[in-house]
Structure 1
Amino acid sequence: MARLLRLIAALLVGLSDAAFGQTSTEIAPGGKLRVGMIAITVLGGVAEPVARFVGQKLGAAVEPVMYPNPEAYLQSFGKGEWDIAIGPRVLAPADKADSTANLWAISLVYVAAPGMEFPDIASVDKTGVKIGTILGAPSDRVLTREIKAAEIVRIPLSPTIAADAADLLRSGKANVFGADSGVGYPAAEALTGAKVVPGAFGTVLVAAALPKGRSPAAQALLATLVDEAKQTGVVQKAIDAKNLKGVNVVTK
C-alpha cells in the first residue's frame, strides 16, 4: 500500500517511480520527515495531521519540531532544524525558504472586555484604547502596521494563551485583545461578558515550505502533496477535529 501511494504521488507530479524515490529522499533524508510547526492549536494542531499525510505519501516517519512561539519559528529558518515547515506564510523568509500555495486561512479577531462596546473593527483604533496581542505573532505584525491611535500591549505566547488573554482583559490592562481566531474565541468563552467584535482585522495565510535550494522536483512534489491534502479533506478534517472557528481551507 505504501509503495502504491508513492507511485500515485509520483504520477501526479510527473516523476518516474525511481525519480520519486530520489525526490522523496531529498525532502525526507533517511526516511525521516522533520516538520517545523508552532505549538498552538490553530497552527501546529492543524499542521500535524497534514504532516502525517505528507509523511505517509513520502514513505517517511514524521518527527514534529515544535516551536514555542512565532519568533522561535521565524528564527529556525536557515538553520537546518527541519525538512519542511508548516506555518504562517508571513514568517517564511523568501530568501531562506520556498513556500507552497496556501493551505488554510485564519481570521484575526478582536475580543472586547466585559462592558466594552465596539460596534466594528474600525471603532477599536481610538485614543485611550489598549489593544492586547501576542508578542511577535502575525497579529502583532498587522496591529503594529495598522494601528494609529490605540496603544498596543504585548504578552508572550504560552500554552495557556487564551486564558492569559482573558486575564489581561479581566485586569483592565487591555480593553480588547487582537489575535488569531484560535485564541480569540476561546478567550471570549473563558471570560463572562467578553465578546468577539464583528469582523476581522486581518488574515493569516498558512503554507508549507522547503528550505531554500531544494530542487524544482522537490518543490513540485511537496506542492502536489499539500494540494492533495486540501482536495481529499485532510486539512478540513484537521480543522473540524479541533472545532476551530474563523479557520477555513484555502481553495485557490
Structure 2
Amino acid sequence: MAVTDSIRAAFTPTGKLRASLNLGNPILANRDAATGRLFGVSIDLADEFGRRLGVEVEQVVFDTAGKSVEALADERADIGFFAVDPARGASIEFTAPYVLIEGYYLVRNESAIRSNADVDVAAHRVAVGKGSAYDLFLTRELRHAQIVRAPSSPTVVRTFLDGGLEVAAGVRQQLEADAARHPGLRLLDERFMVIRQAMGMPGSRGGDAARFLREFVEDMKSSGFVAEALARHRIDGALVAPAG
C-alpha cells in the first residue's frame, strides 16, 4: 500500500510516530551501557517504519512487556512490539509475527525436574516476568504449580534464586546467559512454548492503517531485513517467522 495522508495521520496523531519499546526482552531491544543508545531488532523496525511514513520516531521506553502493552492500549504510543496473545487482542491490532522466540524452563542442577511434564505439580513455584508472554501463557496452562511474578523478565532468575523457587521460565537466551553467571543451573531439554513476536497498533486507528502495518511486516521478512537485523545484533536462536 502507498503511504497516504490518512494513513500517516492514523499513525501520528501527535505529529510523531511514538514507538513503544520493551527493554525487558533482550532479543528485541537493549540499551548501550556506555552511550545510552537503544539498539535491537524492534528499534530497527521502528526506525524503518518511521522512514517509510516520512516522520520522526519518538521512542517510548519501558522495562516490561506489560507496561509497553498498556501504553499502546491507552494510545500513549502508536506502534509496539509484542508477543501475540489472546489477552492482548481486545484493544491491540496485531500483525503476523516477524520473529519466533522459544520459551524454556530453568532449574537447579540437583532438581528432580527433568522434563516439562514434571513442572506442573502443586509443590512447584514458577518464576515469570510479570505481564510477559510467559506469564499470560502459563497462567492459562499451569493447573497445579504456583506462579510467582518477578518485576520484569530480566529479574526472573534473581527472583527464582532469592526465593528458593523450583523453576524459572523465560526467553531461552536470557536464561542461558543467567545460567552462565550462576553455576549450578540448567535448562530443561525442550521448549514449553514458541512466542510469536509481532508489531501492534491501537485497534481504533482503522483498517487501512492496520493493513499498511501488516504489509510492512511481511515486506520486512521477505526482503531479508529482519534476518539481517538478527545477524547484525548477534541474536542466536530467534527465527524469522514464516510469511503471514
TM superposition score category, shorter chain reference: 0.7 to 0.9
CA distance in 1, matches of 2:75, 2:14: 15
Tell me if 1:189 matches 2:180.
yes
Select the residue among 71, 94, 98 that pairs with 1:99: 94
Establish whether residue 148 from structure 1 lines up as the match of residue 123 from structure 2.
no
1:59 aligns with 2:60: no
Moved more, 71-80 or 132-141: 71-80
C-alpha deviation, 1:34, in angstroms: 0.9
Contact kept, 8 Å, 1:37 with 1:87, in 2: the verdict is no
Asked if the contact 1:165/1:187 (under 8 Å) is kept, the reply is no
Counterparts of 1:243 and 1:172, CA distance in 2: 32
Give the deviation of 1:21 after TM superposition: 4.3
Gaps of 5+ in 1: 1-12
CA 230–92 in structure 1, closer or farther in 2 if over 3 Å, else same: farther
Which structure has the greater CA radius of gyration?
A: 1
Q: What is the identity, as a one-letter code, of the residue corresponding to 2:151?
A: P
Secondary structure at the residue paired with 1:112?
strand
> Structure 1 202/194 Cα, relative in aligned 2: closer, same or farther at 3 Å?
same
Task: Name which of 77, 80, 87 aligns with 2:72.
Answer: 77
2:23 corresponds, among 12, 35, 39, to: 39
Q: CA RMSD in A?
A: 2.4
Residue in structure 2 matched with residue 232 of structure 1 by the alignment? 223
Match among 101, 121, 124 for residue 129 of structure 1: 124
The reply to whether residue 179 of structure 1 matches residue 179 of structure 2 is no
Partner Cα distance (1:90, 1:204) in 2: 9
1:83–1:210 CA contact under 8 A, matched in 2 = yes
**SS in structure 2 at match of 1:76:** helix
Instruction: Give the match for residue 210 of structure 1.
Output: 201
Q: Secondary structure at the match of 1:77?
A: helix
Equivalent residue, structure 1, for 2:33:
none
Deviation at 1:91, TM superposition (A): 7.2
The answer to whether 1:48 aligns with 2:39 is no
Distance change in 2, residues 1:137/1:223 (3 Å)? same
Deviation for aligned residue 1:50: 0.9
Structure showing the higher helix proportion among its residues? 1
Q: Distance in 1 between matches of 2:234 and 2:180?
A: 13
User: 1:90-137 CA deviation, whole Å, 9 max, x = no partner?
Assistant: 277434232211111221101112322433211222342332221221
Structure 1 residue 84: deviation in Å? 1.4
Contact 1:104-1:250 within 8 A present in 2 as well: yes
2:204 aligns to what SS in structure 1?
A: coil
Alignment match, 1:28: 12
- For the 8 Å contact 1:133–1:155, the answer to whether it is kept is yes
Aligned equivalent of 2:32: none
Distance 1:119 1:93, change over 3 A: closer
Identity, in percent, stands at 23
1:251, distance to aligned residue in structure 2 (A): 0.9
Q: TM-score, normalised by structure 2?
A: 0.83
Q: Distance in 2 between matches of 1:243 and 1:36?
A: 23
Instruction: Find the aligned partners of 1:171 and 1:237 in 2 and give their Cα distance.
Output: 38
Report the 3-state secondary structure (helix = DSSP H, G, I; strand = E; otherwise coil) of the residue aligned with 1:42: coil
When residues 129 and 94 of structure 1 are mapped into structure 2, their CA distance, relative to the original with a 3 A threshold, is closer
